[in-house]
Structure formats: structure tokens, C-alpha cells
Amino acid sequence: MKRKQKVFNALKSLCESITIMDIRNGIQGITTENISDITQISRNNVSFELNTLIGEKKVIKIVGRPVYYFEKTQLESIISKKINKTSFDSIDELIVDTQKIKETENDLFEQMIGCYGSLQNHIKKLKAAVIYPPNGLHTMLVGPTGVGKSTFAELMYKYALVNKVIAEEGKLIVFNCAEYSENPQLLMSQLFGYMKGAFTGADSDKQGLIDKANGGFLFLDEIHRLSPEGQEMLFTLIDKNLYRRLGEVELHRIAKVRIIGATTKKIDSSLLSTFIRRIPIVINLPSLIERTQNERMDLIKQFIYNESIRINADIRVDRQVIESLLLYDCIGNIGQLKSDIQLVCARGYLDYKVQNRDSVEISIPLLPDYIYEGYFRSKKRSESVKLDTENQEALLFSKEHGVLFEGLDDKYNISKKVYKIINEKLASYSIEGCSPEVINKIIDKDIHKYLWDLEQKFNIKYYTIQKEEIFKVIEPVIYYAVENALRKAEEILEKNFNNKAYIALSMHVSELIKKIEDKRYNNIEDRKEILTNYPQEYKAAQMIKQDLERDLHIQIVEEEIIFITMFLYAMNKENNYDHSKITILIICHGENTASSIAKVANSLLGTNICYSLDMPLDMKVGEAFQQAVDIVKSINQGKGVLLMVDMGALTTFSTFITEKTGIQTATIEMVSTPLVLEAVRKCLFSECDLNVLCNDLKTITPYRERKKECKREFQQCVLVTCITGIGTAKKIISFIKQNSELLDQNIMYIPLNEREYLSKMEYYKNNAVAVIGTLDLKIENVPYIPTDEIIEENGVKRLESILGLQEYNNKEITQLTDSDIIHILGVTLVFLNPQKIYNALKTRYYSILNELNSVDNDKLKTKFFIHCSCMVERLIKNESIYYQNTNQKIKEYIKLYNILCFNFEEIEEIFGISIPDTEICYIIDLFNTL
């Protein structure tokens, strides 16, 4: 590589990490010394090459001492504007020349990150809507939760004020239509006001929100919850600036109101077309994933600076934390990102106060699992992440350099409340003489409650449990039977259940099998009332009963259908977090015994109602008792606390704690992980009181001796494999059931990949009667049928024969044609056009075979096209997969790796994707399995 190119590449690499906020905070550019350090080229020669590149208009120079440089296209990307000059006297001149953010009142929108990037066109339209004569234009803001709709509404109002579009007394009135969506009359009375006697309870005239918004703005959040009648009542206001209060007949009132609507729904399907026509400006705000990486980095920095100012302390953030915040799947967009950062900072603040540190330190252990695990799940994106911390372990956010920006969007701002709780409880427990460790543990539980609130707000699955963990307490056959049944229930109820529901019902069915053997059944009263009140849940429960009976070879009594009905109803209610649940405190002798059990229970069931107190052998009983009292006070939610203890004096704590605190408690002795799991499950999904719960737990022995029983009950299963995941495997199962009535009855199909097979290898070896799919598990005496045979009628007949359902006539299989492969892809793919992907892959397939001097065969061809098609579909959706020992695999097969990389460049270009090394390694395995 020539010296000039080395210098240019180094400059380009250094500029990649610079964001607009860095420039605001004083970053001037890159020096010759920076480039010399990387390239080991002398500074004089670096300077010479840079001047040559300036002459070629590839580099921008900032004159001064020292001279600073930017790579031109990257600087244009940062400031979102074309640059026509190559030399500037200062960074300030560059800012003025490119119309960078001006801190003036009438440029309020320009304080927003992305104002010259992804939001540039949106802001232009919103400004036009505000100043359009004579009274502006009504506006609709559309976008998912957390993208900043409320913030935009407030800025539109402020922009109108400072530009004197509305009078100083003009107000911004905010109304959330969802709050009154169940009562249309009440909603209308809030908006329009009412006259005395208009309805029962209208004892006097009342002004509506439209009255208050006269001369200003009315922000209707969640406007899709406005009834059609409500929308029609706004027509006259929008068209003629006239309206009537409820109960008025003759009089029309005048109000000049600018309406801003906000919705998370598609407006064509959620609002009247006649209403939409009256809102001329519709802005579709981008989600966080649609924003640039630089903008996301700027948002992260702004939110952390906000916290440093709020707590009046510097915040030091580890590099890996920044990368995790950049890469995790932030479902709730900017709102969730802000809340997540506030909670992480709150955890760091707790350590800062308790341990008297010089600054708040944010490290990986403080991150919720879903953020840190999201970082690892994003291998594809992580390859492109370039930070300005390449040679630093952490970033320091000084309270002196931040600018606090807060607006109307307060529903995501939880830090004030959290910091208040931390400071109040810290003072209270310090006065009581509690140790820093105890204080830290107690207050951290309050922070966990805010994590729960976030889960409900953004519908986040914090607990991404691996199946191998679940299978330690639940047999796979039971889990997969429940999974299959609940999937169908989701369609009936039009609801997606979370991991917690799948695991909880699997645990219940596991316990149910024992009850059936012992002939113990629950006697449920008020059956008729339940059937009347919950018909949809009952219908779904009947379907679940049929599926479980078929798949698990059991007979389920009517009482169980009622229980499952109530379970489904409880899961439908679950979005409204019930703060009055029984909580559980585990107390055990030993350093980590109690905390380990609590962690497993909370993780598996996706909750935080299980708390722990570890009692080291040298801890005095009196000290343990006092800590237990403090924790019980902290965690009680109104229905009492269940103490689950191991032995000794701990069994006596309950009576004394109740006497001292007045809080109802009960004790279960001989605690174990299965018993705790059952207790947590019952607390989450039933309405029993503490005494009933305690009595129930004393009569059961959950999940014990279950493996032997299940093994006897379920001898046969068919393993359906996929080389990377289980998506294709599930489609193969669906195809089999659709094409054979015999194979759709009384057969357990288990979709899995190689990692899941290895995690329970002995179980699968003992129970599998056949393996089908794209991966041969090579189980001795267990036949393997590849996907191409299954798609053909021959494979289905062979599987029927293996299962003893029909005799098999081994017909000769003719060579697969192009149409056969395309048919297979049609069965396998979700949204890609089978013909298009086949045409794209076909030339690459034969090119690879030619370079490897290999012969074509149907098995390899089918695997190649299925795997690579699914890979392209997966990468289009930004989904990545993990491969262990990637570098080692590449070194071992470097020739094949290079051939594959070269051949797949065309695929990357056609479909606009980037294929990471992890995917290439799976394709290497594909060629090496034959």
C-alpha cells in the first residue's frame, strides 16, 4: 500500500469515532501526530501526504497550532451538509459555514440530536406547519413508543412562542386520549366541556380543554383512542374554529386551536379517513434503529451528561458499557434508552454514596442482562462499531461539561424519583446503624422494581433464558408440548405470551402429571361463573387440553380446564403489574445458597418477587434476624411475606418478625430450588392468600422423580434439526403435518439445533426414533432423513414407515430439478422470493464447487440453498447467530473461507447485507459435513 493511502486510511479510521456532540464539546479534529502514532510514518511525511490529499479535495484542514484535519466525506456525514471549501481558519468558521447548531431561541429544534441528520426533513416540515399563515397547520406525529413525539410537540409550541406566531398567553394543553377511552362521554366532556344538567352529575358548567387551549396548541396523545364520534366532533373546530360544549344546542363557541396528534398506530386503519384529510401534515418519526450510530452515541452521551448534572458528580463509564448501550435491542426507542441509562446510573450512584467514591463508576455488572446479552447477540453490528475510546478503558462525563435538557416527555424520566429513594433510604438505614452491604442490598431491590416497571412499559423480555437452563427443572417433552399448545392459544386470544407464561404452565403441567398418577384433583367452585365471564380463555383452555392429552398421553379432568382458563386470564391481566402480591424471602446458611436459589427462580419465571438473605456460618443469629426484619419491611407488598428457610433457628423467625413489624409472615422449612419455583409460580398466577399458599406447599413435592416417570411415559420422539437455529425446523414440522394425516397425530416433534442437542444428548439418544432436517446428529441406530427427501413424498412415506404407521416402498429418487429446490425454498422461507434467491445462489454454488473441484450432489445442494436462503433472510432482519471459535475455524479452513467470502460478495450486493464471519463458518461446516 502506498504511503499516501496509509495516511488517508488512518485519518478516515480516526474520524469514524467523532460525533456532532464531540465537536460541540471541543474536539477540533485529527493531528499529524495522531496519524504518525498509528502509521509509524514521520510527521513531516504525514503532513506532506495530507496536503496532497487536500489538493485532491479528500481532506479538510483547520488552520492553527496545531493544524487539525478531517476526512471530507465523514465530516459531511457528521454535520449533514455538503462542504465546498477544503481549508478553514478555525472550527468556529466551519460551524458557521455549515449552519451547525446555533444556540438561539428561534432555533429550538436545532438542540435536537439528528437535526442535521435523520430528523432534518422532519424538522423542516414541522417548522413550516407552525409558521404557515394564517393559523398554522394541524399536525400528526406517527411513530412507535419512545421516539420523541411528546418532545416534538413541546418544541413546536416553544418555536411558535419565540417566533411570535402565538401570543405569550397561548398555552400547550396536553391530553392523553387513552385515559378515557373506555368512557367516550367522559372523554368528550374533558375535551369540549359541558353545561349544567348535560348528564347525571353535571351540577355546574365546566370549561373544557379546548377552551384552555384557545390561542395555543392542543396535544392529543394516543389520538387513535379517540372514538369516531369524538373525531367527528372535532371536524367543526378544525374547519371553522367553532365548537359546542356538551349540552349546548344553539350557541357555537369560537376557539383558534392548533391540534397536534400523536399515535403509535397506522393512521389509515385507526382513524377516520375524513378526519385524516383534515390533518395536512403527517410526520413519521424514525425509530432508534433507523437513526445513525453517531446519533445514538450522541443520545447516550447527552443522557449520561444529564445524570452527571442531576447528581452533581462526574460519571466514569467503561468502554464495554458504551458499546453495549450502542448495540442492544432497544425496543422502547429513545424513551427506553433514556430510562435504561438513568437506572444504570442510579445503581452506580448507590455504590458512589455507600462507598464514598470520587466519581460514579458504571461497569458491566451494573447492566441489566438484556443490555449486556444484546451486545453479544449483535456480532454483525459490533464489527462496525468504532468508538473514541480505542485506547481508553472508560469515558469520563464531567458535570461541568454537560448541558441539562429536559422537556415535556417526562414519562421516561425516572431518575429523580430513584435518586430521592436512594438518598432517603440511605439516610434512614444509616441512622439505624445498618452496614453498607445491607443498605446496598436493600436499596438495590427498589431499583429492581423500576426495572419491572420498564419491562411493563416497553414490553421487554429481560430474562432471555436458555432452554438448557429450563430443562434442568422441566422435561423437554413437557416444555415443547406446552409451547405448541400455547402458540395456538395466542392465536385465539390475539396475544403474545412471554417466556414466563411458557415456563409457568410447563411447571404446572409437570406437577399435574404427578397429581394424575396420585389421582389428586383440585375442586374448583364457581365453575359456571368462570365459563360465563371468560369464554375466550375457556375456548383456548379446551384446545390446550386436547393438545396436551395428545402429545403427553395423559387424561386431563374438567377441573384442570378451569384452572388453565384462569391461568390464561391471569396472563392477559399481567401487563397491569399487581403490586399486592405475596413476596418470598429465602434464608439459608452459607455464603451464596439463598441468593443462588432466588436468582434461578427470578430468572426462570421472569419476576423479582423472590428475595434472599445469605447467612454465613460466622454470622450471629441476632444479626441475621435484624437483617430479615429490615428486608421484610422493604419487600412487603401488602399480602405478606413467605419465609423459605433451611434449618435451625431460622425456622422460628416468622413469629417474631410478625410481632415486631405487624406484617403477616409464614415459614416453609427444608427449602429447595424446585420448592421455591413452585412457590413463586403460585404467587404469580393465583390469588391465594399466604396461609393457603403455605398449606399447598406443604402437601406437594414438585418436579421430583419426574425424569424417570416422564421417560416411561414418552418413549418416542422425532428430532427436527436446523444447523443454525430452530426456525427452519419448525417449518419442516408444519410441512410434515400438512402432508400426512398419520404424522399429525400422537407424535412428539422436537425442533433443535446442535447446541440444544448436546445440552440434553443422553435424553435425545434414548428417546429419538428418527432425525429429520438439515443436520445429521449421527445417533447410532436412529435413521436420518434429510430435508430434500422430506419435501419429496418419498421422505414423508419413509418417516411413516419408521414410526410403524405404514409400509415403506423404497422408490428410486430422481435427481432434484431447479423447480424442486425452488419448491423446497417456498416451504422454508418467510418473505424472500424463492425464485430470486435461488437464481442468485445458483451461480455462486457452482462457482464454489468448481474452485473446490467438488462434485454436485442433492444432499449438499439442498443444504446449501436452504441454509444460505435462511441466512440472507436472517441478515435482512438484522438477526445474527453465534459461532464458537470463529477465528480457529477460519485459520483451519482458510482456503475455503477465502473462496466463500469472494463468492458471496455478489449476494451481499444484491440483497444489501453484510455477511459476518460467524455465518461463513456455518457454511464451512456445511461443506465439511459431507
Task: Give the pLDDT score at 256.
Answer: 92
Q: What percent of the chain has pLDDT over 70?
A: 74
> Is the pLDDT assigned to residue 792 strictly greater than 60?
no
Residue 383 binned pLDDT confidence (cut-offs 50, 70, 90): very low
Residue 585 binned pLDDT confidence (cut-offs 50, 70, 90): very high
Helix then strand then coil, % of the chain, to nearest 5: 55, 10, 35
Q: Cis bond leading into 134, ω under 30°?
A: yes
Residue 260, beta-bridge partner list: 139, 219
**Alpha carbons 388 and 270: distance in angstroms, whole number:** 44
- For the stretch 815-855, pLDDT in tens is 667 777 887 777 777 677 888 888 899 999 999 998 888 88
> Is the pLDDT assigned to residue 711 strictly greater than 50?
no
Task: Give the pLDDT score at 705.
Answer: 40
**Residue range 241-261: average pLDDT?**
88
Which residue in 874, 873, 835, 864 sits closest to 928, CA to CA? 864
Residue type at position 630? D
Higher pLDDT, 300 or 859: 300
- For the stretch 271-290, pLDDT in tens is 888 899 899 999 999 999 88
**Alpha carbons 162 and 154: distance in angstroms, whole number:** 13
Higher pLDDT, 211 or 728: 211
Residue type at position 690? L
Task: Give the pLDDT score at 856.
Answer: 83
Task: Give the pLDDT score at 563.
Answer: 76
> Is the pLDDT assigned to residue 241 strictly greater than 60?
yes
DSSP 929: T
Higher pLDDT, 852 or 749: 852
- 445, burial (CB in 10 Å: exposed 0-12, middle 13-18, buried 19+): middle
Q: Which three cell numbers stand for residue 446?
A: 427498589
Do the beta carbons of residue 598 and residue 610 sit within 8 Å? yes
Which residue in 310, 694, 379, 683 sits closest to 507, CA to CA? 683
Lowest-pLDDT range of 124-133, 489-498, 537-546, 705-714: 705-714
| Count of beta carbons in the 10 Å neighbourhood of residue 370 | 21
DSSP 384: T
**Residue range 596-622: average pLDDT?**
81
Q: Which three cell numbers stand for residue 882?
A: 453465534
Residue 586, beta-bridge partner list: 612, 644
Query: SS in 3 state form for 879-915?
Result: CCCCCCCHHHHHHHCHHHHHHHHHHCHHHHHHHCCCC
Task: Give the pLDDT score at 99.
Answer: 40
Q: Return phi, psi of residue 402, to 5°.
A: -85, 160
Q: Which three cell numbers stand for residue 750?
A: 422436537
**Alpha carbons 584 and 680: distance in angstroms, whole number:** 8
Q: Return phi, psi of residue 580, to 5°.
A: -110, 60
Task: Give the pLDDT score at 886.
Answer: 82
Instruction: Choose the most confident range, by mean pLDDT, from 52-56, 132-136, 601-605.
Output: 52-56
Q: Which three cell numbers stand for residue 747?
A: 407424535
Q: Which three cell numbers stand for residue 312?
A: 452533581
- Round the average pLDDT of the chain to a whole number and report it: 77
Task: Give the pLDDT score at 103.
Answer: 38
Q: Is 570 helix (H, G, I), strand (E, B) or coil?
A: helix
> Is the pLDDT assigned to residue 116 strictly greater than 50?
yes
Higher pLDDT, 47 or 780: 47
> Is the pLDDT assigned to residue 777 strictly greater than 70?
yes
**Residue range 858-883: average pLDDT?**
79
Residue 706 binned pLDDT confidence (cut-offs 50, 70, 90): very low
Task: Give the pLDDT score at 686.
Answer: 62
Higher pLDDT, 182 or 409: 182
> Is the pLDDT assigned to residue 578 strictly greater than 50?
no
Task: Give the pLDDT score at 708.
Answer: 37
pTM (whole model) above 0.75: no
Task: Give the pLDDT score at 380.
Answer: 40
Task: Give the pLDDT score at 647.
Answer: 80
Do the beta carbons of residue 552 and residue 509 sit within 8 Å? yes
- For the stretch 31-43, pLDDT in tens is 998 888 888 898 8
**Residue range 437-464: average pLDDT?**
54
Residue type at position 631? I
**Residue range 876-884: average pLDDT?**
71
Between the alpha carbon of residue 540 and those of residues 259, 480, 536, 573, the distances in Å are 43, 17, 6, 16
- H or E segment and range at residue 190: helix 184-192
Q: Is 260 helix (H, G, I), strand (E, B) or coil?
A: strand
Task: Give the pLDDT score at 591.
Answer: 81
> Is the pLDDT assigned to residue 389 strictly greater than 50?
no
State how far Cα 133 lies from the chain centre.
43
Q: What percent of the chain has pLDDT over 90?
A: 12
Task: Give the pLDDT score at 296.
Answer: 92
Residue 861 binned pLDDT confidence (cut-offs 50, 70, 90): confident
Between the alpha carbon of residue 428 and those of residues 320, 442, 612, the distances in Å are 35, 12, 21
> Is the pLDDT assigned to residue 414 strictly greater than 60?
no
**Residue range 300-319: average pLDDT?**
87
Task: Give the pLDDT score at 687.
Answer: 63
Rama region for 494: left / alpha / beta (φ>0; ψ in -120 to 50; rest)? left
